[in-house]
Amino acid sequence: MLVSRSGYEINFKVDEEKLAKLLKLKAELGDNFPRFGVMVISYNAANFIETTLNRISPKLIDIIEEIFVFDDNSPDNTFEVVKNYAGTSPWKEKLNIFKNPRNLRYGGNQKVGYQYAIDRGLDYAIMLHGDGQYAPEYIVDLMLPAVEEKFDVVFASRMMRKKDAIKGGMPFYKFLGNQVLTKFENIILGTKLTEFHSGYRMYSTKILKKMPIKMNTDDFHFDTEIIIQCRHLGAPIKEVPIQTFYGDEECNVNGFQYAFDVCKSVILYRLHQLHIIRKGSYIVNREFIYKRKYSPYSSHEKILNMIPAGNGRVLCIGDSDGLLYESLIAKGYEVQIVDEREGHATFIPNNNYHQTLMKDVNELPFKREFEFVILCDVLARVVDPMDTLIKLKKFVKPDGRLITSVPNIAIWVYRLSLAIGRFNYAEGGPLDRKHLRFFTKFSAQQVLINSGYEVRELKPTGLPFEIVFSSSGKSKFLKFCDGLYFSLANIWHKLFAYQFVISAQITGVEEP
């Protein structure tokens, strides 16, 4: 379709080469080809929606399962226009129109649309605006990465080719605001999107099911919150370039309020990750993956610093991911790993891995032969920490050490939370859902003493900024925050330490 503004013409048309690829993949995959739905959200779009729907190419009729229009209780006759159009449209067998009984607003309208896509058993939902600001001809561009590259999230970006956005009539203040906000959001979230604010998107229903989108805002920054949820789930976002055209469509967004809301959303997410606040929309259904921490103030580095280079043996409990394995090997030790899980990291030889329940750890085929026994965050996960510690004594050499890391439940964040009556579990951290036991500095030392150990060294750790911010370790700002916070933790262990790393020695050695 050819549109023009001030002498600048844009010829929106379907990319025939990409369409041919999709049709070929459709033939090859058969019933395994994804079921795509186009969700058209509209409000006061009576003057534009028929043209918008008409621009969805009939060549996609065998690829798109359904087009569903959700009119957000428009005071104009948008609903009637679509109903009349449906009767003569080539899409009439696949076009459904719904009118919300009340105005749900931008985010609320998306919520009902995405739920409809999930209930219909679709694999993907493509969001298209009924006012035609986003060209329907680019639907093919959104679909192809999902089929070819298995992306769950694909965004159409106006900013991958910035000059086209200006030529397409985007007001300069919107262009500038878009860029400034996107830069800010990328910095805070650690992402690299060219645009956060495109309303032309596609999500897999698989990823939507993992998001508590019903807890998201009903306002315009719904789009920002759902990006944050994608980031929290670790779902990569594929961007494809599009041209855009600003015509006579009505803008209902208060720019200053919107800017404030998106900035607030990303900051609240970081506070949520640091457990300073808890926000339900950021508690997603994901498997938490523990990662190696390289900060000098982290528990992993503190543990390794307690172990000098040598040529003895180390028994590492609860580390089937092998987070410390290679570092211990590099120090010259033979390492045996014990965990309750059947699977383990591929670089750990099978002979060095032992799958055992913690209650049966004393049945391991070892004698008193280890210079070091390491328990990374294990004591918080067992029913009886003292019983576990007593059973492990039989493996520690008389002059050896047991080194354990435990979370600090008395950190200032949780003290404040309890003061306001909040104690919410999370997918990681001291309030990990899998934690059965909680420790303070005193109780962590006491359980070791009561189990027959003498505490020889205790070190606090700082907050895991590198994990929270997915840092590569190169950020000077995060290094500064890391060092500054650890200074507080080092001065006042009980209040600021995130974890305690404790090295202990058996007080009395019995015959094995």
Q: Two tokens at 307? A: 């172990």
Tokens of 431: 């309030």
Residues of the chain with CATH 3.40.50.150: 299-506
**How would you classify the pairing of strands 396-407 and 370-376?**
parallel
Mode of pairing for the β-strands spanning 153-157 and 201-204: antiparallel
Domain with CATH 3.90.550.10 in the chain: 14-170+198-207+233-248
pLDDT > 50? residue 470:
yes
Under the banding of pLDDT at 50, 70 and 90, the label for residue 429 is confident
* Residue 264 identity: K
CATH class of 299-506: alpha beta
Question: How far is 12 from 139, CA to CA, in rounded Å?
Answer: 12
Question: What is the mean predicted confidence (pLDDT) over 189-196?
Answer: 90
In CATH, what number does 14-170+198-207+233-248 get? 3.90.550.10
| For the ranges 23-27, 169-173, 246-250, the one whose mean pLDDT is highest | 23-27
Crossing angle, helix 255-273 and helix 222-233, to 10 degrees? 30
CA distance 127 to 114: 9
Judged against a pLDDT cut of 60, whether residue 401 lies above it is answered with yes
**Amino acid occupying residue 230:** C
Phi, psi dihedrals of residue 209, rounded to the nearest 5° = -65, -25
pLDDT for 12 beyond 80: no
Give the pLDDT confidence score for residue 140 in this predicted structure.
96
According to the model, what pLDDT value does residue 172 have? Answer: 81
Please tell me the predicted confidence (pLDDT) of residue 487. Answer: 95
Helix axes 172-189, 255-273, angle to 10 degrees: 0
Distance (Å) of CA 451 to CA 134, 270, 398: 67, 39, 15
Q: How far apart are the C-alpha atoms of 129 and 158, rounded to whole Å?
A: 15
- Kindly report, residue by residue over 368-398, the tens digit of the pLDDT: 999 999 999 999 999 999 999 999 999 999 9
Structure confidence by residue, pLDDT tens digits, 316-355 = 998 888 889 999 999 999 999 999 888 788 899 999 999 9
Tens digit of each residue's pLDDT (9 = 90 or more) over 17-75? 999 999 999 999 999 999 999 999 999 999 999 999 999 999 999 999 999 999 999 99
3-class state of residue 65 by DSSP:
strand
pTM over 0.85: no
Kindly tell me if the per-residue pLDDT of 511 is higher than 60: no
pLDDT beyond 50 at 86 = yes
